[in-house]
């Protein structure tokens, strides 16, 4: 009887330890979100962007914490201050007057894509090409904000 109880306890502990730790990519994303909330710059997500991404039912600006890099290609990593599960990665190509916003889940999956061309926004379901570019941008920001430990 003691052997059976011991086996059940060992099995239960093994199961908990296997399910308790999220994958490394989710841990890195959580660290990037924490760093952004702690050290990111105060900014706002513009009303039309927050509405088209589905973050705000009305067109209102959303307070965010942000890391951004300026240049010919602008890129950023945004976390909504009030609702931290709203994470946005964006790129802006100033030469083409095009921007792309990726709404991401806390698990790291792209939820929605918004393209803005010449000031007009188009929200859409992510295509295969969108998902590939999203993974590239997400990887870039994870490397910047939560580098892999060697």
Domain total for the chain?
1
Q: Tell me, yes or no, whether 14 lies in a domain.
A: no
Mean pLDDT for the stretch of residues 118-130: 86
Do the domain assignments include residue 29? yes
* Residue 79 CB partners (closer than 8 Å, separation 6+): 33, 36, 37, 40, 64, 65, 66, 86, 87, 88
Instruction: Confirm whether 69 is domain-assigned.
Output: yes
* Segments in the chain forming alpha helices (H): 2-20, 24-39, 47-52, 128-145
Task: Give the pLDDT score at 20.
Answer: 55
- Is 11 inside a domain boundary? no
* Inter-residue contact 146 to 31 (CB < 8 Å): yes
Calculate mean pLDDT across residues 79-94. 93
Q: Which residue has the tokens 């790291």?
A: 108
Residue 39 has pLDDT above 90, yes or no: yes
User: What Cα–Cα distance (Å) separates residue 90 from each residue in 62, 87, 101, 121?
Assistant: 15, 10, 4, 13
For residue 122, being part of any structural domain is answered with yes
Whether the full predicted model's pTM is greater than 0.85, yes or no, is no
For the chain, the first-to-last Cα distance in angstroms comes to: 45
Average pLDDT, the chain: 85
**In the chain, % of residues over pLDDT 70:** 85
Q: Is 128 part of a structural domain of the chain?
A: yes
Most confident of 41-45, 71-75, 108-112: 41-45
At residue 126, the pLDDT reads 84
Per-residue confidence (pLDDT) for residue 10, from 0 to 100: 41
Let me know if residue 34 belongs to a domain.
Answer: yes
- Dihedral-angle region of residue 97 (phi above 0 means left; psi in -120 to 50 means alpha; beta otherwise): left
- In tens, the pLDDT along 5-35 reads 443 444 444 444 445 555 777 899 999 999 9
In a domain? residue 43: yes
* More confident call, 23 vs 38: 38
Domain that holds residue 35: 23-145
Name which of 33, 46, 41, 44 is nearest 104 in CA terms.
33
């Amino acid at each position: 009887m003691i052997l059976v109880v011991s086996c059940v306890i060992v099995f239960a502990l093994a199961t908990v330890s296997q399910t308790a730790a999220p994958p490394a990519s989710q841990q890195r994303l959580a660290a990037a979100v924490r760093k952004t909330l702690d050290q990111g710059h105060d900014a706002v997500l513009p009303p039309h962007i927050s509405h088209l991404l589905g973050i705000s039912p009305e067109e209102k600006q959303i307070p965010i914490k942000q890391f951004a890099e300026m240049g010919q290609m602008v890129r950023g990593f945004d976390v909504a201050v009030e609702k931290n599960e709203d994470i946005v990665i964006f790129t802006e190509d100033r030469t083409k007057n095009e921007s792309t916003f990726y709404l991401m889940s806390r698990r790291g999956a792209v939820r929605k894509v918004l393209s803005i061309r010449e000031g007009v926004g188009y929200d859409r379901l992510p295509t295969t090409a969108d998902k590939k570019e999203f993974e590239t941008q997400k990887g870039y920001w994870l490397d910047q904000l939560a580098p892999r430990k060697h």
